[in-house]
Amino acid sequence: MKLSLAILFASQLFAAGPTGPTAGFIIDSRTSTIRPITGVPGALRLSNPISLPFSISAAEFSSGGDIAIVLTTNQPSHLAVISLLGSFAPAIADLGEVADDTRILALNAKGTAAIIYSALLQQVRFVSALNGNPVLSSPISTAALAGPVSAGVLDESGSCAVLGTGSVETLCSDGASRRVLPEAAYNVTALAVANNNRDLWVADAAGKQVLRVSNYAQQAVPTVFAAEADGMQRPVALAISPNGEVVVADSGAAAIFVIDSAAPSVKTIPLDITPSQLHPLTDRSLLLLNDLSALPFTLFATEAMRTYFIPAN
């Protein structure tokens, strides 16, 4: 059944109300719900799920923490945008049915746009105006790219994406595309833009390395900053910390690598868990390392350079 364009739920935020400041939101994959993380590092806890009229299979949250773009578990799946997430009256905009294999690849840094991808349909679609009246673009074919899309990131405007395709390529909402790196021998697991959208960071599992591609939109210059010699085995995620360092999660090494490109230097932080992601919370210094299907639930604090374990109540 199609969701209402804007459904307001005055009583559906928390069953028992949040405790303390909200650090961000996560998906509880055990219950397919959105749950707030409340408190401060060292005293963080999961609050009760937000009550919604559907279950959620995937979500990405805006940097402001007040907007989520989600995929529902409805058959067929729907794409929806939830705004006013931290209020007692969240609003839901239904953007319609999508293929069941659809993935939310990324939001832009401003949290105003997103990109979704279906390998089955070989297409991407852009979502604009997340903070207003969200609009889902017409499909854009990915058939001419080097291969299936493994990872993606949006530029600040939200109109062009950088995609891992076996190579690294850009694809814009007007259909224009270009190859950033000429080779087609990468297994790109994560991408991030930095330095006012001039630099691109690439996690490559095939080469067991992390590269910075300077001036990627024009005359791209790739430089390896961390590799197997530094202990990398399978980098699966990366994020840019608030102080500009590059944080890399490696599932093969069960470690966090912190790259200071100015030094340059690489610091290794062993973990007691196998990381699968690096999703920043509303507090951008806190990065989610795993989901609630892999306990203990773990956050990495970039300022303290340490992990925090949160009871998965």
Give domain limits for the chain: 106-186
Long-range contacts of 162-170 (CB under 8 A, 24+ apart): 162/191, 162/193, 162/200, 162/216, 163/105, 163/124, 163/191, 164/188, 164/189, 164/191, 164/202, 168/200, 168/202, 168/213, 168/216, 169/145, 170/217
Q: What is the mean pLDDT of residues 247-268?
A: 97
Q: What percent of the chain has pLDDT over 70?
A: 92
Closest CA to 276 of 205, 222, 216: 205
pLDDT at residue 282 above 80? yes
Reported as a single tens digit per residue, the pLDDT across 15-61 is 334 446 888 998 888 899 999 988 888 888 888 898 889 999 999 99
Residue 269 CA to residue 259 CA, distance in Å, equals 11
Overall size of the chain counted in residues: 313
Q: What is the mean pLDDT of residues 270-287?
A: 92
244 burial type by CB count under 10 A (0-12 exposed, 13-18 middle, 19+ buried): exposed
CA angle 158, 34, 55 (to 5 degrees): 95
Task: Kindly report which listed range (2-16, 58-72, 104-118, 262-276) carries the lowest average pLDDT score.
Answer: 2-16
Average model confidence (pLDDT) across the chain:
89
Task: Kindly report which listed range (40-49, 129-138, 167-176, 250-259) carries the lowest average pLDDT score.
Answer: 40-49
Residue 228 CA to residue 214 CA, distance in Å, equals 21
Q: Kindly report the pTM of this predicted structure.
A: 0.89
**What b/e string do you get for 149-173 counting C-beta neighbours within 10 Å, with b at 16 or more?**
bbbbbbbeebbbbbbbbbbbbbbeb
Q: Furthest-apart CA pair in the chain: how many Å?
A: 55
pLDDT of residue 5: 29
Cα dist. 255→70, 234, 240 in Å? 29, 10, 16
Reported as a single tens digit per residue, the pLDDT across 55-87 is 999 999 998 888 999 999 988 999 999 998 877
pLDDT of residue 138: 96
Q: What is the mean pLDDT of residues 159-180?
A: 95
pLDDT of residue 85: 83
pLDDT at residue 91 above 70? yes
pLDDT of residue 14: 36
